[in-house]
Every structure is written in structure tokens, then in C-alpha cells.
């Protein structure tokens, strides 16, 4: 939830012709609202209840970003984005429950790209098309996420579940979300959106723990370990690999 960091980037470079647009992939806008109000953004802060931007850009996790130049042309495809350095090495309390310790340990393996990503964005703001980070259209398309038939079918299943969640209730959505997870196991937005609806305690804004549930096969820790660990969790931009 790095909204304050994105807002700060926007505020710093707005006068230089740069705008941050944040998009909340939240089926329930009310879940996103407390975070938005806390960050008090004066950049466009949008709500994407149907995960439309997944389909249009290829987002399959958060945070992920695209860069769009002054002509409305993408100069970077959907990829992992970060704006703040993370705490990856401070000692954990001795009395931390073991499942929480395991989860934090795995999360700390996620590549910490914040500082380098920030520098790349600033380079682009200052140099535009002359920035080494600004790709030409062919390179942007080639570097965008491959979409096979299973990915497309997963998108349709996820959106059908999203629609039925609103009109019929959660029970009607679960079979389609399970199918989306099966078809596109690398899409974390499909999984985390569905898991959080099972695991978030009543009255709480969100649950980042996302422990195993009866409704779905996977859980955050299980599925991250299945891909070889947190180091494989995000799409690291090629200039940071």
C-alpha cells in the first residue's frame, strides 16, 4: 500500500509535466477507500472493481505499472513497480507466531527494487524519449506479458465471477474464481482478491496474511513457495535483472 510514496513522486514532478495515476484493483471500493483517504492524493486515484487493467495492460500482481508518454504511447509494459525501500533485514521479535515468521521471511525475499525503480522514473521524466528506460513501441509489445488461451480464459472466468459476486453473492463467484486460478496460476491479482474475501475478519480493512481456506486450493505462502520463493514473486524490470 505505497500510496503515500506514489503521491510524493507525483507532487515532486507534477510541474515537470508528469502525473501518477493509481488504480485500486478492489472488487469493493470501500476496501480501498481508507487507504486512499489516508494518502490524501491529489493525483487521479481510480478504482478498477473488474480488474479491467489486468486485461488492457497485463497486470498480474500489484504493484505493477506502465509508463505512457505525452503522445499516449506506452514506453514501458506492465512490470513490477516500487517506490519505497522495504525493511528486509531488521530482526523479527522472538515471540512472533511461527506462521507469521514464515510469511514475513518469504515476503522479505521479494526483490527490493524501490530505489532503482525510482531513479529510472526520474531519468525518464527528465530525458523523455532519450532516457535509456523509454522503450520503442515494438520493444514494449515484445516485452509485454505473453497471453495464451489459458490466460484469456482465466480473464473471462475471473470477470464472470466478479460480476456474479455483485449480483448473486460470493458463492456464485467461487467456482469461476477457482477456474481462473487453475487456468492462470501466475496471476496473483485473481488469487489474492479471492483469498482476501475469505480470510479478512469482519470489520477489518484487509488481511495480508491470506492463510489457507476451504474455498480455494492455494494460499499466499504455499503458492509463493511453489514458484520457488519470494525472489520469483514479481516481474522485475529488465534493467534491474
Partner 1 sequence: MIVETPTVDPDHFEQRTGWASKPEGLCKGSMCVPAPEAIAADGTLDVATLAARLDMPLVRDEATGVAALGPESPGHSLTTAVAPELTLPDQHGNPFSLSSLHGRKVLLVAWASW
CB contact set of 145 (below 8 Å; sequence gap of 6+): 58, 60, 77, 78, 151, 235
Smallest gap, in angstroms, from Cβ of residue 95 to partner 1?
A: 26
CA distance 27 to 200: 14
Residues 6+ apart with CB under 8 A from 110: 86, 230, 231, 233, 234
Spatial contact of 125 and 16, defined as CB atoms under 8 Å apart? yes
Least distance in angstroms from the C-beta of 222 to partner 1: 17
Minimum separation from the CB atom of position 109 to partner 1 (A): 20
Query: With respect to partner 1, which residue has the nearer C-beta, 128 or 229?
Result: 128
Torsion of CA 155, 161, 164, 170, to 10 degrees: -160
Spatial CA neighbour of 88 closest among 68, 66, 113: 113
Among 11, 96, 99, 137, binds partner 1 (CB under 8 A): 137
What is the smallest separation between the CB atom of 229 and partner 1, expressed in angstroms?
A: 21
- Nearer CB in complex with partner 1: 89/202: 202
Binding to partner 1 by CB under 8 A, coded x per residue (else -) over 157-196, reads: x-xx--xx--xx---x---x------------x--xx-xx
Which helix (H) or strand (E) covers residue 161, if one does?
A: helix 149-167
With a CB cutoff of 8 Å and minimum separation 6, the contacts of 233 are 61, 109, 110, 188, 224, 227
Give 104 or 156: the residue with its C-beta nearer to partner 1.
156
Binding partner 1 by CB under 8 A: which of 152, 226, 227, 240?
152
> Which residues within the stretch 28-87 sit at the binding site for partner 1 (CB under 8 A)?
29, 31-37, 41, 44-48, 50, 52-53, 55-59, 62-75, 77-78, 81
Q: Which of residues 101-120 bind partner 1 (CB under 8 A)?
A: none
- Count the site residues for partner 1 by CB under 8 A: 95
| CA of residue 62 relative to chain centroid, distance | 1
Nearest approach, Cβ of residue 134 and partner 1 (Å) = 10
Closest CB to partner 1 among 65 and 94? 65
Q: Which is nearer to partner 1, 15 or 94 (CB)?
A: 15
Amino acid at each position: 500500500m505505497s500510496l503515500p510514496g506514489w503521491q510524493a513522486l507525483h507532487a515532486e514532478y507534477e510541474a515537470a509535466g508528469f502525473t501518477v495515476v493509481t488504480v485500486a484493483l478492489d472488487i469493493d471500493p470501500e476496501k480501498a477507500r481508507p487507504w486512499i483517504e489516508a494518502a490524501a492524493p491529489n493525483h487521479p486515484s481510480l478504482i478498477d472493481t473488474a480488474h479491467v487493467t489486468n486485461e488492457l495492460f497485463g497486470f498480474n500482481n500489484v504493484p505493477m505499472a506502465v509508463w505512457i508518454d505525452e503522445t499516449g504511447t506506452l514506453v514501458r509494459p506492465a512490470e513490477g513497480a516500487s517506490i519505497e525501500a522495504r525493511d528486509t533485514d531488521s530482526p523479527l521479535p522472538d515471540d512472533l507466531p511461527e506462521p507469521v515468521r514464515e510469511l514475513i521471511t518469504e515476503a522479505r525475499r521479494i526483490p527490493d527494487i524501490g530505489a532503482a525503480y525510482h531513479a529510472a522514473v526520474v531519468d525518464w521524466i527528465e530525458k523523455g524519449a532519450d532516457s535509456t528506460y523509454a522503450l520503442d513501441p515494438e520493444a514494449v509489445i515484445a516485452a509485454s506479458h505473453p497471453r495464451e488461451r489459458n490466460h484469456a480464459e482465466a480473464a473471462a472466468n475471473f470477470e464472470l465471477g466478479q460480476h456474479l459476486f455483485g449480483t448473486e453473492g460470493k458463492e456464485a463467484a467461487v467456482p469461476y474464481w477457482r477456474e481462473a486460478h487453475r487456468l492462470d496460476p501466475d496471476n496473483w491479482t485473481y488469487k489474492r482478491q479471492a483469498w482476501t474475501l475469505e480470510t479478512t475478519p469482519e470489520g477489518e480493512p484487509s488481511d495480508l496474511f491470506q492463510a489457507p481456506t476451504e474455498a480455494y486450493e492455494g494460499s499466499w505462502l504455499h503458492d509463493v513457495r511453489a514458484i520457488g520463493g519470494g525472489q520469483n514473486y514479481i516481474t522485475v524490470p529488465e534493467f534491474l535483472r
